[in-house]
Amino acid sequence: MTDSAAIRQHLIDPEICIRCNTCEATCPVAAITHDSRNYVVDVSKCDFCMACIPPCPTGAIDNWRARLPAQTYGVQEQLEWDALPAELIAPQPAVSGPVATVQGAAASVMLHSVAPASNSAADFDSAQYGATLPPWSAAHAYTNLYGPKAPEKSITATVVGNVRVTKAGKDYDTHHIVLDFGPLPLPVLEGQSIGIMAPGRDVNGRPHHARQYSIASARNGERPGYNNLALTVKRVLQDRQGAPLRGVCSNYLCDLQVGDKVQVIGPFGSSFLMPNHPRSNIVMICTGTGSAPMRAMTEWRRRMRQTGKFESGKLMLFFGARTKEELPYFGPLQNLPADFIDINFAFSRTPGQAKRYVQDAMRERAADLGLLLRDGNSYFYVCGLKSMEQGVLMALRDVARLTGMSWEDLCVALKREARLHLETY
């Protein structure tokens, strides 16, 4: 390729991106990075594999510019953008050079299919295992109905409920917040998310970008038959290294009062969806506020069960927190009947007890999980902090091997059949 031959540069639209980290976690060549403001693609590393395109919930990742090699946009320049530059070109144009044979997301499946799992935790790349398509029986998801670039912009919701769902304590103040959308349509499914537009501006004087929150209520509303939904929000008072940090949007949401107005964009997400097939089994693995989509799925199944016309499959939950006091919805979970949902708690900071994580609970239930892994009607959902992802998948690998299955074959099938879904942050 000569210096005069134009290439297509892969860019991320900062106006649409909801900073969910899916693209960076998915990229097999570490071409995507971010700072406190933007996610960007390093043109010197990107090999046009398209692995990041299908999982993006908003479509922000699917943007391209025709540039000469000497005029490509650098990482630092992209990090400072509030909007993409002009010169928009059609997605996936012809590209000169060796990557010209790669044609879209389908090619990424061939080039970056699930690799054989390593026995070493250091070499275990968990991002490659998650499905990018929804279960075959999932309901149709509507996405991007309201957003920064949509004619309707955002949609206004009214707070109709805000209750704490953990015991008092500054380190684990988690709220269940209910938003009502009145006459404006916002169809959502379990597993989808919305973006919240916090008021005010950041330290650079720019409007805060949207923060993403998973929906914690069933598709027909937190209150059935009403145009509302629920969120599970933990007040952020420190960063992941323990340094003091007041989360912009989490504190805004936790401090809302009934009657307050909130600007919302979305909905987002078209793959982390529950199966509609009545005999499908659902295994939910989560920590903390990663319980939001699991609560939504559980509630929809519970409502279907109450109709007396729904033959549901099995529900199995592995739910982790530091202590039971920090676990959202701990009380209500105790009231669900055992013949409806199989609940397994794991607490890592209970005084006087050994640390126990969700992957430990999973290994203890290896026989039951093994049966579900063999069943093509079983679907697995993982949601919580990114740090849990590897441990959970290594536990699934161990369960498969302990119960006589080939993990190398199984993990390919789980991805291909959209039976394993990962949403970590």
- 336-357 pLDDT tens trace: 999 999 999 999 999 999 999 9
Q: Are 291 and 328 in contact (CB under 8 A)?
A: yes
Domain extents in the chain: 7-112, 155-268, 281-424
pLDDT at 105 over 50: no
Q: Which residues touch 358 (CB under 8 Å, ≥6 apart)?
A: 285, 286, 287, 318, 319, 320, 344, 346, 388, 391, 392, 395
| Averaged confidence pLDDT in the chain | 86
Question: What is the CATH code for 7-112?
Answer: 3.30.70.20
DSSP 175-214: EEEEEE-TTS-----TT-EEEEE-SSB-TTSPBPPPEEEE
How sure is the predictor about 54, in pLDDT bands with cuts at 50, 70 and 90?
confident
Q: Which residue has the higher pLDDT, 179 or 128?
A: 179
Q: Which residues touch 387 (CB under 8 Å, ≥6 apart)?
A: none
pLDDT at 113 over 60: no
DSSP 326-374: GSTTHHHHHTS-TTT-EEEEEES--TTS----HHHHHHHTHHHHHHHHH
Q: Which residue has the higher pLDDT, 396 or 4?
A: 396
pLDDT in tens, 225-261: 899 999 999 998 877 777 888 889 999 999 999 999 9
Residue type, 52: C
CATH top-level class of 281-424 = alpha beta
Q: Write the DSSP symbol of residue 253.
A: H
Residue type, 9: Q
Tell me which residue has tokens 């000169």.
96
Question: What is the CATH code for 155-268?
Answer: 2.40.30.10
**Domains 7-112 and 281-424 alike in fold:** no
